[in-house]
C-alpha cells in the first residue's frame, strides 16, 4: 500500500470515528423511541447495540456529496439495524404479525359497531376466512405472545441473578424485629 493510500485510509477512519462519537446519542434516542412501541421483553440495551452497529456502518459508508446530512443518513441506518436485529430474534414470520393485527382490528371494529364482545364467527367473516383459519391465526398470535412473555421473564430472571451479588444484607439483621405473619 502506498503512503498516500495509508494516509487516506487512516484519515477516513479518524473521520468515521469522530462521526460515531458525535452521534452516539442519536442511537440512544432512536432506541428509546423504538422501545416504547415494543413489548417489554425487548431490551433497550439490545437495541442500542444493534444501533451502534448501524451507526458504524453509516459512518463507514457516508459520503457528503449526496445531499443528505449525516444525522439523517445515520438515523435511517440505525433504525434499520435495530429492526433487522428484532426480525432475526423473532421466530414468527411477518405474515403472523400481519394476520394478528388484522384480527385485532376486526375485533375492535365489531365491538365498536355492536357495543358487545365480538363472536369468533363474526371476526372470521369480517376477515374473509373460515373459522378454522381464524382459530389458527389466534393460535399463532398466542404462541408468539407467549414466546415474548417467556423471553421477558428470562430477561427479568437474568437481571435478578446479576443484581443478587450486589445486594448486601445488613450486618445486624438479627437485631431486626421479627415479622408478624398474617
- Same fold yes or no, 10-89 and 94-160: no
Domain 94-160 part of CATH 1.10.10? yes
Cα 100 to the center of its chain, rounded Å: 18
In which band, very low, low, confident or very high, does the pLDDT at 50 lie, cut at 50, 70 and 90?
Answer: very high
- Please tell me the predicted confidence (pLDDT) of residue 181: 42
Domain 10-89: which CATH class?
mainly alpha
Contact by Cβ (8 Å): 151, 46? no
Contact by Cβ (8 Å): 60, 79? no
In which band, very low, low, confident or very high, does the pLDDT at 54 lie, cut at 50, 70 and 90?
Answer: very high
Most confident stretch, 106-120, 134-148, 152-166: 106-120
Q: Closest Cα partner for 62 from 76, 82, 48?
A: 76
**Domain residues of the chain, as ranges?**
10-89, 94-160
Query: Has this prediction a pTM greater than 0.85?
Result: no
For the ranges 43-47, 77-81, 165-169, the lowest mean pLDDT is seen at: 165-169
In which band, very low, low, confident or very high, does the pLDDT at 32 lie, cut at 50, 70 and 90?
Answer: very high
Amino acid at each position: 500500500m502506498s503512503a498516500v493510500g495509508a494516509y487516506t485510509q487512516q484519515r477516513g477512519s479518524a473521520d468515521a470515528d469522530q462521526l460515531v462519537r458525535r452521534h452516539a446519542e442519536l442511537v440512544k434516542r432512536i432506541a428509546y423511541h423504538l422501545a416504547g412501541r415494543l413489548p417489554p421483553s425487548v431490551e433497550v440495551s439490545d437495541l442500542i447495540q444493534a444501533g451502534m452497529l448501524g451507526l458504524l456502518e453509516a459512518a463507514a459508508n457516508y459520503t457528503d456529496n449526496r445531499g443528505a446530512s449525516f444525522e439523517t443518513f445515520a438515523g435511517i441506518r440505525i433504525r434499520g439495524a435495530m429492526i433487522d436485529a428484532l426480525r432475526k430474534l423473532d421466530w414468527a414470520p411477518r405474515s403472523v404479525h400481519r394476520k394478528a393485527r388484522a384480527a385485532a382490528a376486526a375485533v375492535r371494529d365489531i365491538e365498536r359497531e355492536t357495543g358487545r364482545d365480538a363472536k369468533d364467527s363474526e371476526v372470521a367473516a369480517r376477515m374473509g376466512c373460515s373459522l378454522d383459519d381464524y382459530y389458527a391465526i389466534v393460535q399463532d398470535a398466542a404462541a408468539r405472545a407467549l414466546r415474548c412473555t417467556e423471553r421477558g421473564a428470562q430477561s427479568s430472571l437474568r437481571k435478578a441473578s446479576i443484581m443478587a451479588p450486589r445486594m448486601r444484607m445488613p450486618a445486624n439483621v438479627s437485631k431486626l424485629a421479627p415479622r408478624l405473619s398474617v
